[in-house]
Amino acid sequence: MKYSVEFRPAVLKSLKRLPKKDLRRIKKRINDLAENLPDPSSTKMKGSDFFHKVRSGDYRIIYEIHNDRLVILVVKIGHRKDVYKRLL
């Protein structure tokens, strides 16, 4: 089952500032998520009921899964050292 991917406006803005090599890797990882969603219990963030995370090199992709609409909402993408700060 294929999910569609939506981005928050801040995510699209932050993608413009990433190095091209990392941006290609992140885009591939997001496409892989849409095609084959990993087990939600293994990607769930501790202390949060909504957020999941996956690695892409030194970057993390934080997202929500909306099973009722088959949508993955990408909430934040950032370097692992500061992506978890000020997470909504």
**Domain range summary for the chain, segments of one domain joined by +:** 4-79
Residue 85 pLDDT: 87
Contact 25, 56 (CB under 8 A): yes
Residue 88 pLDDT: 58
Mapped onto helix, strand or coil, the DSSP state of residue 14 is helix
What's this model's pTM, rounded to 2 decimal places?
0.90
Largest CA distance in the chain: 34
pLDDT beneath 70, residues of the chain: 88
Rounded to whole angstroms, the Cα distance separating 60 from 69 reads 24
Residue 76 pLDDT: 95
Q: Which of 49, 43, 47 is nearest to 61 (CA)?
A: 43
Rounded to whole angstroms, the Cα distance separating 21 from 41 reads 29
Label residue 15 exposed, middle or buried (CB < 10 Å: 0-12, 13-18, 19+).
middle
Residue 1 pLDDT: 75
Residue 6 pLDDT: 96
Q: What is the CATH architecture of 4-79?
A: 2-Layer Sandwich (3.30)
